[in-house]
Amino acid sequence: MANAQAGGQWYPPEWPERIRALASGELAPVTPKRAA
């Protein structure tokens, strides 16, 4: 598997940066919308 990370987790390369921004309060999560 070419996209597998160590430990078997796969995620887009920008995720760690976005997670850090969310954790530090720099990025606000989007308000969820109700599904149809």
pLDDT per position as a tens digit, 3-36: 555 566 677 888 888 888 888 877 777 788 898 8
With 50 as the cut, is the pLDDT of residue 1 above it? Answer: no
Torsion of CA 11, 13, 14, 18, to 10 degrees: 50
Give the three-state DSSP class for 17.
helix
Model-level pTM? 0.41
Give the three-state DSSP class for 20.
helix
